[in-house]
Amino acid sequence: MDLGYTDEQKAFRDEVRAFLNDKLPKRLSDKVAGGKRLTKEDYEDWHAILNDRGWLGVNWPKEHGGTGWDAVQRHIFEEETTKAHAPRIVPFGLAMLGPVLMAFGSDAQKAHYLPRILNGDDWWCQGYSEPGAGSDLANVQTMAVRDGDDYIVNGQKTWTTLGQHANWIFCLVRTSKEGKRQEGISFLLIDMNTPGIEVRPIVLIDGEPEVNEVWFKDVRVPVGNLVGEENKGWTYAKYLLTHERTNIAGVGFARAGLSALKRIAGGQMEHGKPLIENPFFAAKVAQVEIDLMAMATTNLRTISAAAEGQAPGAESSMLKVKGTIIRQEINALTKQAVGPFAAPFISEALDEGSNVEPVGPDAAMPATQAYFNNRKLSIYGGSNEVQRAIISKTILEL
């Protein structure tokens, strides 16, 4: 048992720090730290900077242009980038589709799509959920019917994160209605510029059009865009979800959130003293910090097991549940910290270069927004109820 990083891991951490110090544009880290709105270009700029260094394919092997890092290195990278307020890496192409193509795609698909993901030629979005298929994902109804060398796709996807920026979508579609529901699903890559596709924004409670509905009406998709075998999509979909769940604990985000919380609560005065010295408030901050310290080790325990070749299975469900509870508690405390100024909502003030001043402390509006927005953490990627069901079935065997 040794809780520290090895010398090698420390050297790697220093290398990441030096890189961030050198290459992370202040313009971007200021926006992230200040809770400002990030544009498509902001993400693309950051991706390009990482790609120049060869660090964009964080969980990709070297042969496909990835870093080849092990789980601990990925953890260090995540921790340092969140601490430095780097934009997050948009996961859809890099963390989700990439690994699926590597495992199940044809050589032609790998050769075509993987470099385009790294170079930023394509922005992918995830077309899994449908109005009737949320937790019950196997219920997808979007139909793909074979017609010569094409599939003709009809149906609707929803909750498609940042679909407004995307030029490609990977979809779970139904190619068969026979047998078990899971056995009639295929994994299809669809060019968003194909006629018959319509993207409609959904505004979330924090006022941001973060997700979309994507409608398909007689959309022709070449058969060559099928990944793997027809009707085997469920296997690939689940493979992808295990990758979606890497980093699910969000320890880096939680640490960044906690230090922001302490800074904000240190600046809010109450009866002439900083709020962080109020024992009632300080107790709650301390409790979440204690939870986070343990969580960080739970996370590392899971990660090191994975690094030794054991796949994190149901353990990642544990990380998801506790990790999101911790992050949501930090969000709630930050909102509490800003006090009466949690109430104003001046959307324009979140735009870069806007001359509209916020009201109250700068941290106030982003704090409320983050509180509402991060309710999603326990809903998406398999809701916390679904994760608990996995834990009780798989680990507890109940």
Ligand X SMILES: Cc1cc2nc3c(=O)[nH]c(=O)nc-3n(C[C@H](O)[C@H](O)[C@H](O)COP(=O)(O)OP(=O)(O)OC[C@H]3O[C@@H](n4cnc5c(N)ncnc54)[C@H](O)[C@@H]3O)c2cc1C
| Catalytic residue selected from 78, 79, 130, 244 | 244
User: Cβ contacts of residue 306 below 8 Å, gap of 6+?
Assistant: 71, 312
Can you say whether residue 105 is alpha, beta or left, with left for phi > 0 and alpha for psi between -120 and 50 degrees?
Answer: beta
CB nearer to another protein: pick between 286 and 343:
343
160 near ligand X (CB under 6 A): yes
| Interacting residue with ligand X among 25, 34, 68, 134 (CB under 6 A) | 134
160 interface partner picked from another protein, ligand X, none, CB below 5 to 8 A per type: ligand X
359 interface partner picked from ligand X, another protein, none, CB below 5 to 8 A per type: another protein
User: Cβ contacts of residue 72 below 8 Å, gap of 6+?
Assistant: 5, 9, 300, 303, 304, 307
Distance in angstroms (rounded) separating the CA atoms of residues 318 and 313: 10
142 near ligand X (CB under 6 A): no
Show the binding pattern over residues 315-334: x = contacts ligand X (CB under 6 A), - = does not: --------------------
| Interacting residue with another protein among 223, 336, 354, 381 (CB under 8 A) | 336
Side chain identity, residue 396: L
Distance in angstroms (rounded) separating the CA atoms of residues 147 and 138: 24
User: Of the ranges 64-72, 127-135, 218-226, 312-320, which one interacts with ligand X (CB under 6 A)?
Assistant: 127-135
243 near ligand X (CB under 6 A): no
Distance in angstroms (rounded) separating the CA atoms of residues 3 and 62: 28
Distance in angstroms (rounded) separating the CA atoms of residues 314 and 388: 9
User: Of the ranges 146-154, 190-198, 241-249, 278-286, which one interacts with another protein (CB under 8 A)?
Assistant: 278-286
User: Cβ contacts of residue 230 below 8 Å, gap of 6+?
Assistant: 175, 176, 186
Cα–chain-centroid distance for residue 240? Answer: 13
| Interacting residue with another protein among 11, 48, 111, 269 (CB under 8 A) | 269
CB nearer to another protein: pick between 101 and 342:
342
| Interacting residue with another protein among 158, 246, 317, 387 (CB under 8 A) | 158
| Interacting residue with ligand X among 12, 69, 128, 216 (CB under 6 A) | 128
User: Of the ranges 126-134, 243-251, 258-266, 305-313, which one interacts with another protein (CB under 8 A)?
Assistant: 126-134
User: Cβ contacts of residue 203 below 8 Å, gap of 6+?
Assistant: 209
DSSP 77: H
For the question of residue 44 being annotated catalytic, the response is: no
Q: Which residues sit at the interface with ligand X, rule CB under 6 A?
A: 126-129, 134-135, 159-161, 210-211, 376, 379-380, 383, 385-386, 389
